[in-house]
Amino acid sequence: MTFPVLICDDSSLARKMAKRSLPPPLQASVVTAENGQQALDIMLREQITLLLLDLTMPVLDGVGVLEQIKARGLEVFVVVVSGDIQPQMQEKVLSLGALDFIKKPVDTQRLGAVLKKFGLY
């Protein structure tokens, strides 16, 4: 099973690591964005099934992206991948519709478990 995946992070290294943490079949359909505005533009043009989203980015941060996804009624599964592990931030992103919150660097097994839990892999 393969579907479009968008990885949004301002760090090219983090984007590469996130891509490698995906199950191999999903790595083939990855699109990347360097900030939240780029990610939003991509999601408005293309059907994205899964978004791996960093929180701390220039232009539009991860919380702003989640708010826009909600406001625009975009249908996308979002997993937040961030170094910001404050409990209040985790609660906020989950309340905005994120499926889960994974601490950077991405744990491949944890991401796989989240994808399985929500029927994405």
- Cβ-based burial of 53 (10 A; exposed 0-12, middle 13-18, buried ≥19): buried
Q: Taking the chain, what is the end-to-end CA distance rounded to the nearest angstrom?
A: 7
Residue type, 12: S
Q: Write the pLDDT tens digit of every residue in 25-57.
A: 999 999 999 999 999 999 999 999 999 999 999
| Whether CATH 3.40.50.2300 fits 5-117 | yes
Whether pTM > 0.75 for this model: the answer is yes
Q: In the chain, where does DSSP find H-type helix?
A: 12-21, 24-27, 36-45, 62-72, 87-95, 108-117
Q: Write the pLDDT tens digit of every residue in 43-97.
A: 999 999 999 999 999 999 999 999 999 999 999 999 999 987 889 999 999 999 9
| Domain segments of the chain as ranges | 5-117
